[in-house]
Structure 1
Amino acid sequence: MSSGPAATADKAASPDRTPVHRGSLRGLDGLNFLMADVRDGLGPFLSVFLMGSQHWSSGNIGIVMAASSLSAAVCQIPSGMLVDSLRAKRLLIALSGLLVAAACLSIAAFPRLPVVLGAQIVLGAAAAIIPPCIAALSLGIVGHRLLPARVARNESFNHAGNFTAATLAGALGQFAGVYWLFYLVCGFAVASALVVLLIDPRDIDHELARGGETTRAQGDAHRPAPFIDLWRDRRLRIFLLTVVLFHFGNAAMLPLAGQRIAKVHPGMDVIALGACVIAAQLVMIAVAAMVGRALKAAVGRKTIFLVALTILPVRGLLYCLTANPYAIVAIQLLDGVAAGIFGVVAVVITSDLMRGTGRFNLAQGLMALCVGIGAALSNVVGGLVVDRFGFVTAYLILASIAAVALIVFACLMPETGCQDA
């Protein structure tokens, strides 16, 4: 999968913790591969299903897409606090995956507004627990020093899982019917619940997993920092604002592209959207590995993140120019670069900001809350603007918001990668 710094986590534990079993590292690989499809539910394929098969309006689609994001947003901070405080992280991940499976089956069986809305709320609540759990397990197993390499490896496997799921989804949607997409997610969910058993609970240092400096081997756990002390950190506030703006500009772009294809080129929507996801995921696999190498080479977190922020408004402007399915797939490659960078660097920046506070997963929850808020605003605003003014105007608005994110981060956010474990 990935090599270089990412592979380092396989060979040795970080100096800030004791050696771990290779099976636990393989379990993290498998979990990231399988959970890639589970934690996002149906993602943009839901909008294609509702538009192409059920003939919903863009406004109603935007509402149910936003419901999942808002539900996840409400659950993010409690989820982060839960992960910081509990040791049953493997069980939390498995239960969340199974809830995602149940919600997807309910949408397939009863694709009506109240049912889909309720299922999306359940999907958001269940999915909220997965990213902080995986991040906590990663930090608790490899420690602070190897976390950037481990996160890069996680993201490589995550995108490989998304690539596999998207390939299967495109084939199933085209040749077996859209309903098979729901069963695909269920299969991944059940498999992820089994793979999590590969992680040896003895390898998880729960003090490190919540962002502490000490380890259980040293026998000294510190009390987590008060929440108000975290919020006084100006860097955290600027970073979270950037995350909101990034996802406000980004989240609706691909779903709107799928709706536009379904409207302009009926019959090509599922296969084109599948190709979009596949192309982007292939790029993300390579980008995640490259980001891991760049971080090991001491390239600044801010420098790398600015690349992602620069790409997003360009992508929005390019979407304004065409509704051609092949051109949209090509444009979506840019999302592979931006999202590949975000998935690695956002977690690493959060770890930098929270180091020594014991609040790493709470901060992960805050970041995910901001992702949810931005995604919800993006889907609602994007859907309503399309209904009234058309797709081009919606893309221009999203690109403008993405440009604001770039300006805020470039001008106000300092570099955070000044510590070495």
Structure 2
Amino acid sequence: MSGDRTSAAPAASRARFDPGSLDAVNFLLADARGAVGPYLNVYLVTERGWSLSALGVVTLVSGVAALALQTPIGAAIDRTRFKRGAIVLALAVMAVGAVAIFLRTDFWWILVASVMIAVVGDIFYPAVAALTLGLIGRRRLAQRTGRNAAFDHAGNVVIAVMAAAVGWWFSQRAVFLLVPVFALLAAAATLSIPAQAIDHDRARAADAGDRAGRRAARPGWKVLLRRRPLVVFGICAFLFHFANAPLLPLVGQVLAFAHPAWATAMMSVCIVAAQAVMLPISILVGHRADRWGRKPLFLIGFAGLPVRAVLFTLSHDTGWLIAVQLLDGIGFGIYAALTPLVVADLMRGTGHYNMALGAVATMTGIGASLSGLVAGVVVDAFGFDAAFLTLGLVAAAAALAFAAAMPETRRDPKNDPARCG
């Protein structure tokens, strides 16, 4: 009986939850994160005179630290009942790191700040996914994950425009001061979500009354490895990001060689345009995922990636490259909106939802990191078109693997009592 009363109280509180708070969290977190990553490398090389080797060391160390901690951080999010506090703490650390970059640019100072920012960046994805599941439940999760992704993409568009304006009117260095501003706003949005509205059992996919959920205190590593569809999904995610991650940088390099004076502006156009496409795609996916299923939608995203890679080889005209890059909005828009939903399907009742999200994020991070090196070697040896075709082959392998080995994870609503929550 006590368990019933415990689950009933959060359900009552969730009725008072304002969805606009979660919208604001997703939008403002994108603004806070986006004011660091894309601009730090350019600032250090162009304005502070850093060597590419020194920059490479910072990128490598911070990237390895982030990859190593993604899955443990997801496991910690599963266990903690202070998910809002975790987001606020991560925002505070990110703001301190950005201010540190603004103040000084010596090697060790930047290295420590970059590692801090990279590590706390691991917190946002599983923590927001946990809040979403804990607040919304499974019944409306598909629409809500699509809406989350849409507000995230909208935030990315806004911060790209704002950073360009600040960099133009003031300096590249001033862009980093946007981080504490948006971090403060994001923290306020996070704390506007009532703590009592979060069902922490649901937030880790351990539904009340589910026997598997009551065993969730056990170590989760075996739980992850024993779920074959999750392993298949992780491998497909690795291949998808291996193929996708280098495409935009390669396009940027082609544009830079053709139009050195306008390369940065055209790169910004590519980023903003793709994000603008991702926004409606995310909303569409959220509305259709329960009707059409997860697998058909994911196959559209996976199938579009090799097509995009091959289309880049047909012409290096500026307009053509930018137009083809818009297809990234479809592929990645589908991936970003559906991944939390598919992992929630696969981890239902385990209590290790956020740990699984961290594991998938680790796989995608490894794929993206390795592919940059491979693409660079292919470009040096055979040229840009060979690199595009190589990545296209990997993307085709990802699509075929997903089609052949990945099952549909949506459950029939008529036979799924858990969806009532």
1:180 and 1:258 map into 2 onto residues whose CA distance is 24
Whose helix proportion is higher, 1 or 2? 2
Q: How many angstroms does 1:324 deviate by?
A: 4.6
Q: Is the 8 A contact 1:308 1:341 kept in 2?
A: yes
CA deviations over 1:95-137 (Å, ceiling 9, x no partner): 2122223333444454565554443322221110110000000
CA deviations over 1:114-161 (Å, ceiling 9, x no partner): 554443322221110110000000100111111111111111111111
TM-score normalised to structure 2 length: 0.86
1:190 and 1:199 map into 2 onto residues whose CA distance is 15
SS of residue paired to 1:267: helix
- The equivalent residue for 2:74 is 80
Bigger mean CA offset, 264-273 vs 402-411: 264-273
- The equivalent residue for 1:185 is 179
Q: Is 2:346 the counterpart of 1:350?
A: no
Amino acid at match of 1:417: R
TM-score normalised to structure 1 length: 0.86
Q: Is the 8 A contact 1:385 1:393 kept in 2?
A: yes
1:321 and 1:42 map into 2 onto residues whose CA distance is 34
The partner residue of 1:121 within 98, 103, 115 is 115
1:106 and 1:330 map into 2 onto residues whose CA distance is 38
Size of the aligned set, in residue pairs, is: 404
Structure 2: 5+ residue stretches without partners? 1-7, 414-418
Q: How many angstroms does 1:339 deviate by?
A: 1.2
Amino acid at match of 2:234: L
Q: How many angstroms does 1:332 deviate by?
A: 2.1
Q: Is 2:167 the counterpart of 1:173?
A: yes
Q: Is the 8 A contact 1:38 1:188 kept in 2?
A: yes
- The equivalent residue for 1:4 is none
1:254 and 1:47 map into 2 onto residues whose CA distance is 16
Structure 1: 5+ residue stretches without partners? 1-13
SS of residue paired to 1:414: coil
Q: Is the 8 A contact 1:47 1:255 kept in 2?
A: no
2:78 and 2:412 map into 1 onto residues whose CA distance is 22
Q: How many angstroms does 1:229 deviate by?
A: 3.1
The partner residue of 1:402 within 370, 395, 406 is 395
- The equivalent residue for 1:299 is 292
Q: Is the 8 A contact 1:309 1:405 kept in 2?
A: yes
1:207 and 1:89 map into 2 onto residues whose CA distance is 12
Q: How many angstroms does 1:321 deviate by?
A: 4.6
The partner residue of 2:215 within 220, 223, 228 is 223
1:98 and 1:415 map into 2 onto residues whose CA distance is 40
Amino acid at match of 2:306: P
- The equivalent residue for 1:3 is none
1:22 and 1:277 map into 2 onto residues whose CA distance is 37
SS of residue paired to 1:268: helix
- The equivalent residue for 1:318 is 311
Bigger mean CA offset, 49-58 vs 158-167: 49-58
Q: Is the 8 A contact 1:66 1:377 kept in 2?
A: no
Q: Is 2:236 the counterpart of 1:242?
A: yes
Identical columns (%): 38
Amino acid at match of 2:351: G
Amino acid at match of 1:231: L
Larger Rg: 2
1:61 and 1:324 map into 2 onto residues whose CA distance is 31
Q: How many angstroms does 1:393 deviate by?
A: 3.5
CA change 1:19–1:94 in 2 (3 A) is closer
Q: How many angstroms does 1:56 deviate by?
A: 6.3
1:262 and 1:46 map into 2 onto residues whose CA distance is 18
1:26 and 1:259 map into 2 onto residues whose CA distance is 39
Q: Is the 8 A contact 1:41 1:100 kept in 2?
A: no
